A and B are shown apart, each in its own frame.
Chain A
Amino acid sequence: MAEPLLEVRDLKVHFPTDDGLVKAVDGLTFQVMPGETLGVVGESGSGKSVSFLTVMGLITRKQAIIEGEVIFQGQDLLQIPADEMRHIRGARISMIFQDPMTSLHPFYKVGTQISEAIRVHQKASKKEAHDQAVEMLRRVGISKPDERASQYPHEFSGGMRQRAMIAMALSLNPDLLIADEPTTALDVTVQAQILDLIDRLREEFNASVVIITHDLGVVAEHCDHLQVMYAGKIVEYGTADDIYYNPHHPYAWGLLGSITRVDEAQKERLHPIKGLPPSLIFVPPGCAFHPRCPYVFDKCKVDVPELLPSDGHHAAACHLPLADKQRIYAEEVAART
């Protein structure tokens, strides 16, 4: 089996606050293989963004207590000096963000902002960097890239700004692109375009992609693997099909129950997950999801379930026996349709 491109082992990111220690990420282990697309799914506050901002080195030990390892191409990113990290960030790992309306600097031309990224990491004249920026804009499907490069972000639509962000992120041909809720702020039609674009460019640039999202439905078909996060931990991991059609964790059932599906005739209303995401300061003992779980039993309140493989790659952190899970989920689906 090939070496993973990114391997995160037992990552913990804890923020000290006046109210206590916020355990945003609490023991996270996963890997990203070369060329694959990994979907990271979870509610707000599940630690999905924080964990990848830490991978990027955008959350540092100045702000948080960070433990664990982030091995990228054989190097532990948490151990290397900030200056070295700076050369990896934006060049070998790059990131695009949720809200393209606010993620571009309003005072600089779009082309300038892209060529700035190029010039930081490459020896290139202004002219060369600008030409490269225009070429990148063309590759992300912006028409008249020459003119567009000399426009300001406010002259771009939301979808175009996200394209420009993608152009910026890919301009140095990174090995890993992290997309943090890339479509959340966009119209539904534009969402699909952007995800297709990311798909296409992943192949062209031969990169791995991580898509962080709270919307399982939107990303499922674009991802090879999915991992579901809850309270700073992974509660389920598997191929997109595993999780979409055969989820094993009650939280994943909840996520799937709360979205509209086109593959099932919808008979009833959507089922939201009851309760609120847990406090990350006072995380419930045992399984963090147990206060909201309809199938909770005594063990859940005491023992932290481990992420155990059930069949092949598919793994879930839940105390319910596999047979029960399959039975219960089949019943849930039957009840819905």
Chain B
Amino acid sequence: MIQYIIRRLLWVLVTLLLITLLTYLIFFVMPPTKPEVNFAGKQPTPELVAQVKQQFGLDKPLVVQYGLFVKRIFLGDEYGWPGLGFSFTTRDALKPIIFDRLLVTLQLAFGAAILWLIVGIPIGILSALRPRSLFDRAAMGFALFGVSTPVFFLGPVLLYIFWFKLGWLPGSGFYSIGQYGVTEWFMHMIMPWSVLALAFAAFYARMTRGNLIETMGEDYIRTARAKGISERRVVVRHGLRSSLTPVVTMLGLDLGGLIGGALITETVFNLPGIGAYAVKSVFSGDLYAILDVTLITAFSITFANLIVDIVYAFLDPRVRYT
């Protein structure tokens, strides 16, 4: 087990290095507009460009540049660890900005994940236990609606109904717990969570249903029934145990992906998350900010994969020693 984890960790390291190599190539070697020109501003003098180039180390050979790039990320820069650089537009350190934004996205992602698990999994289980019943048909209809409704449509509709018309919920914007208290924060998060969670809840309901129906047809379920244990125990201990294992995998990957920003939800509800920031930075050509968001997304997916693999080894004894 320990060996398995160590081996996986080594691979993660390789993956991370590959990611940095790719991002380096994309951001510093491939762009048609050279970073130094980008930074130097409109109509720069050749002297200024050369100066910037030297200041950024862009005059050094590519390999050295890449080494410095990796070193900066993993060992930190003049703004601390990890080295996230500074903003081209404001010349401020990016670290506090990125971290604040990441915190908002994390609250959005984890809240939504809890919601979609609470909604999706029970619906999937009930559907699977009574396939083709009225409940199942209604639930799968809802699931179809859920997976096919875009956030940019549902978000404004919900805002219109619950904020503008009914006035039950406050409008968009982010109200942190620290500054405004839990209630205010919670009320403002309900709609973003719901909108983001809907498609996932629908997908998880369908996945749980499909897995559970398949599992309940397995021979070992028949064995469990033949032992004379209660149907409830058959479903919970024998059926769900196997059919929720793939759900754990999906959850890890989905969360990993969302940490890179839930762009549309953040935009619709005016949440200062990392996805919205990435878009803003793209428009202002803020190289380090785009770079940071790219790396955070890639790293979080890599680590989510690692965690999923390790958790999976605990859930399924068959993968333990491989």
Q: Which of A's residues lie within 8 Å of B, judged by CB?
A: 56, 58, 86-91, 94-95, 97, 99, 102-108, 116-117, 120-121, 152, 154, 165, 168-169
Closest CB in chain A relative to B214 CB, distance in Å: 13
Contacts of A106 in B (CB 8 A): 220, 242, 316-318
Known: A106-B318, A107-B242. 18 other contacts (CB 8 A): A56-B226, A58-B225, A58-B226, A87-B228, A89-B226, A90-B226, A97-B219, A97-B226, A105-B223, A105-B242, A107-B315, A107-B316, A116-B227, A117-B228, A120-B228, A152-B317, A154-B318, A165-B223
Question: Could you tell me the distance in whole angstroms from the C-beta of B129 to the nearest C-beta in chain A?
Answer: 12
Which residue from chain A places its CB closest to the CB of B238 in the assembled complex? A105
How many contacts between A and B, using CB within 8 angstroms? 71
- Is the beta-carbon distance between A89 and B220 smaller than 8 angstroms? no
Bound-state Cα–Cα, A91 to B226, Å: 9
B241 in the interface (beta carbon within 8 A):
yes
A-side contacts of B223, CB under 8 Å: 97, 103-105, 165, 168
- Complex Cα distance, B224 from A199, in Å, reads 24
Q: Is the CB–CB distance between B222 and A120 below 8 Å?
A: no
Which of chain B's residues has its CB closest to A90's CB? B228
* Chain A residues within 8 Å of B218, by CB: 102
| 210-236 of chain B: CB within 8 A of chain A | 218-220, 222-230
A168 with B228: in contact, given A104-B220, A105-B238 (CB under 8 Å)? no
Q: Is B219 in contact with A103, judged by CB distance below 8 angstroms?
A: yes
Main secondary structure of the interface of B (DSSP, over half): helix
Query: How many angstroms from the CA of A95 to the CA of B218 in the assembled complex?
Result: 16
Provide 28 A-B residue pairs closer than 8 Å at the C-beta atoms, listed in order of the A residue: A56-B226, A58-B222, A86-B228, A86-B229, A89-B226, A89-B228, A90-B229, A91-B228, A94-B226, A94-B227, A95-B226, A97-B219, A97-B223, A99-B219, A105-B223, A105-B224, A106-B220, A107-B242, A107-B245, A107-B316, A120-B227, A120-B228, A120-B229, A121-B228, A152-B317, A154-B317, A154-B318, A165-B223
CB–CB B227/A168 < 8 A? yes
- B220 surroundings in chain A (CB, below 8 A): 102-106
Which chain B positions have C-beta within 8 A of A104? 220, 223
Choose among B223, B241, B245 the residue with the greatest number of A CB atoms under 10 Å from its CB.
B223
Q: Which of B276-322 contact A (CB under 8 A)?
A: 315-318
Q: Is the CB of A97 within 8 A of B316?
A: no
Q: Is the CB of A102 within 8 A of B226?
A: no
The CA of A165 and the CA of B227, in the complex, are separated in Å by 11
Please give the number of chain B residues whose Cβ is less than 8 angstroms from any Cβ of chain A in the complex: 20
Instruction: Give Cα A247 to B220, complex, Å.
Output: 37
Residues of A within 8 A of B316 (CB): 106-107
- Chain B residues near A88: list those with CB within 8 A: 228
Bound-complex Cα distance A200 to B224 (A): 25
Alpha-carbon distance between A88 and B225 when the two chains are bound, in angstroms:
12
C-alpha gap A116/B227 in the complex (Å): 8
> Closest residue to B320 on the A side, CB-wise?
A152
The answer to whether A97 and B222 touch across the interface, beta carbons within 8 angstroms, is yes
Chain A residues with Cβ under 8 A from B229's Cβ?
A: 86, 90, 116-117, 120
| A108, B221: Cα distance in complex, Å | 13
Interchain residue pairs A-B with the least CB separation, the first 3: A90-B228, A102-B219, A117-B227
Whole-angstrom distance between the alpha carbons of A165 and B318 in the complex?
Answer: 19
Among residues 33 to 60 in chain B, which have CB atoms less than 8 Å away from a CB atom of chain A? none
Please indicate which of the listed interface residues B218, B225, B227, B316 has the most CB atoms of chain A within 10 Å of its own CB: B227
Residues of the B chain whose Cβ atoms lie less than 8 Å from the Cβ of A90: 226-229
B179 → chain A closest CB, angstroms: 46
Least CB distance, B232 to chain A, in whole angstroms? 11
* B227 smallest CB distance to A (angstroms): 4
B230→A86 contact, CB < 8 A:
yes
Could you tell me the distance in whole angstroms from the C-beta of A214 to the nearest C-beta in chain B?
A: 18
| Interface hits, B175-221 → A, CB 8 Å | 218-220
A79–B230 Cα gap in the complex (Å)?
A: 19
**Nearest chain-B residue to A107 (Cβ)?**
B241
Output the least CB separation between B308 and chain A (Å).
Answer: 17
List, in ascending order, chain B residues with CB within 8 A of A117's CB.
227-229
Q: Which chain A residue shows the least CB distance to B226?
A: A95
Question: With the chains together, A154 CA to B321 CA distance in Å?
Answer: 12
